């Protein structure tokens, strides 16, 4: 398969480097990384202990994907989007100038698929992944943990395009599920991100700190609010499932620093608008359009997500990032 990876940061480089073992891959990234890949190839290194399973052949090797800083007027079977959520509109505009059989978002947050679909004529798939990645130097990326890839039509249901993309990931060693219930899976991932990312970014702690103590209380509250908001929009996600997902990921990645915590440490803009901010926006939208009885307002209370969002936005504004 011919694949464009739009957004060759940490995750995009890991995905692109592994996919390049069995597919023709073009990375779209920043100039220093692109120059290093063009000169020396892309090095994918192991940075974890334990069994890598079918993904092992992709590790500790150098692949030779094509690389460019210009994502316009490209053509491929698949465009894989891995940019930060606040760059989705730029990605969509660039990809709209090209020709693709499918576009698949493997981004954090919600709302990315709708923005891609509004610009691109190709079918848009939604996806999630729990593979860990850290770009260590230009031309180098470390895999910090093996997980899975889940993808399917953004609106739910089945499609031959999704099946084909799933097979492409499996051929490169990724544990991959093609799912027909992506709306629910996206909201569950949103609950995980809402519970882990903002809390670890503000508290400046690793993911494992959320397993007990006051940080655990905040993470659980953010996840429960996300689940309540999902149910208001007819997505079946229980509070128990949302909290369990947060604690399962926090336990499995206890020594990891979340992407939002990494962004804050580095003084970069975060994806809070597409994560905790999205929960707040959808809850507020439901109040405006739906019932406004006191009971409904209590059910859709998103005070924790609202506070986390305001604090991170205030930090970003103070740093001149928004």
Helical pair 276-289 and 182-203, crossing angle rounded to 10 deg: 120
Given a contact cutoff of 8 angstroms between Cβ atoms, the answer to whether 45 and 83 are in contact is: no
Distance from C-alpha of 188 to C-alpha of 179, rounded to nearest angstrom: 14
Extract the tokens encoding 246. 């947060």
Contacts 24+ apart (CB under 8 A), 33-40: 33/8, 33/67, 33/135, 33/138, 33/139, 34/8, 34/67, 34/68, 34/69, 35/138, 36/137, 36/138, 36/139, 36/140, 37/8, 37/65, 37/67, 37/138, 37/139, 38/67, 39/139, 40/139
Report, in angstroms and rounded to the nearest whole number, the Rg of the chain calculated over CA atoms.
19
Catalytic residue among 135, 185, 189, 264: 189
Helix and strand counts by DSSP (H, E) for the chain: 12, 12
Active site residue 189: yes
Smallest CA-to-CA distance from 135 within 294, 259, 251, 276 is with 259
Residue positions annotated with a catalytic role: 189
């Amino acid at each position: 398969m011919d694949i464009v990876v739009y957004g060759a940061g940490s995750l995009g480089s890991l995905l692109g480097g592994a996919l390049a073992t069995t597919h023709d891959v073009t990375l779209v990234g920043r100039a220093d990384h692109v120059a290093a890949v063009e000169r020396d190839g892309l090095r994918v290194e192991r940075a974890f202990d334990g069994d890598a399973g079918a993904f092992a052949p992709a590790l500790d090797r150098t692949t030779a994907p094509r690389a460019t800083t210009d994502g316009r007027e490209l053509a491929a079977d698949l465009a894989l989007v891995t940019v930060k959520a606040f760059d989705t509109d730029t990605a969509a505009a660039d990809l709209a100038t090209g020709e693709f059989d499918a576009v698949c978002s493997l981004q954090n947050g919600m709302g990315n698929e709708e923005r891609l679909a509004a610009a691109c004529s190709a079918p848009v798939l939604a996806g999630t992944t729990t593979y860990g990645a850290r770009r260590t130097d230009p031309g180098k990326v470390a895999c910090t943990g093996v997980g899975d890839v889940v993808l399917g039509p953004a609106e739910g249901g089945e499609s031959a395009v999704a099946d084909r993309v799933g097979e492409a990931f499996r051929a490169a060693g990724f544990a991959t599920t093609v799912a027909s219930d992506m709306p629910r899976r996206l909201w569950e991932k949103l609950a995980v991100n809402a519970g882990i990312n903002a809390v670890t970014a503000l508290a400046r702690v690793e993911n494992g700190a959320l397993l007990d103590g006051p940080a655990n209380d905040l993470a659980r509250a953010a996840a429960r609010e996300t689940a309540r908001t999902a149910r208001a929009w007819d997505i079946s996600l229980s509070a128990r499932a949302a909290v369990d997902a947060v604690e399962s990921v926090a336990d499995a990645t206890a020594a990891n620093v979340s992407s939002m915590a990494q962004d804050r440490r580095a003084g970069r803009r975060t994806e809070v608008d597409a994560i905790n901010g999205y929960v707040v926006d959808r809850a507020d939208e439901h109040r405006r359009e739906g019932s406004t009885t006191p009971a409904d307002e209590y059910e859709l209370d998103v005070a924790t997500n609202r506070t986390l969002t305001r604090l991170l936005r205030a930090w970003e504004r103070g740093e001149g990032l928004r």
